[in-house]
A = this chain, B = another copy of it.
Amino acid sequence: MSTSTEADNGSRSSGSYHHGNLRAALVEAGLHLLEQGDTADFSLRELARQVGVSPNATYRHFANKEALMMAMAAEGFRRFTFALTEGAASGNGFFGAGRGYVGFARKNPALFRLMFGRFTSTHHSEELGEAGQTAFTVLSSGVAGFLGAPADDPRVKTVALQCWSLVHGLSHLILDGQMDTMGDIDELVGAVLRPPGMGK
């Protein structure tokens, strides 16, 4: 994180940042601008100013804005995986993970759209691929556990896609305001993602 003093001292160089720190600071600032503006409609130049480094310093880490956005999406998938595992640990395992999925989307709507929008299906990096794969593996393992089936059972893939579709659709319908007339959103999410036999 850049303080105003660091920004003043470092405004023409990246000397105040350790290499890895500046990369992380740029990703963090990018994520902040993304949620503020609701779209990734900012420039690397603007980002450099926010972090308090020269535009050239950003190019040492990201060849262009697309490279930064891939790193932002990858960081998003790491946080998202954490939200899934945290949700699963909070109770009702598999269904808790589903609530973690929808909760992440509601807290990070622009990041959610970046992670699951056309950008990530048309831009690929090793870091992004790994982060996305880890998230999908967590989902599939949860399904395998729920079904009591080995991970390579063909039913696991189908049920994982069904579960993914369900929580993804619910997230989109909420973010797009399509559930606004359906009553309290928290109650609705609870009802849609309630384990069978847990009462109405």
Contact = CB atoms under 8 A, between A and B. Distances in A.
A64 interface: no
Q: How many copies does the complex hold?
A: 2
Nearest to A193: B162
A117 B178 CA distance: 8
Chain A facing B: main interface SS: helix
A100 to B, nearest CB: 16
Interface of A: 116-118, 120-122, 154-155, 158, 161-162, 164-173, 176-178, 180, 182, 188, 191-192, 194, 200
Given A164-B173, A167-B169, 17 more contacts: A116-B173, A116-B178, A120-B178, A121-B177, A122-B177, A155-B200, A158-B192, A161-B182, A161-B188, A161-B192, A162-B166, A162-B192, A164-B169, A165-B170, A165-B192, A168-B172, A169-B170
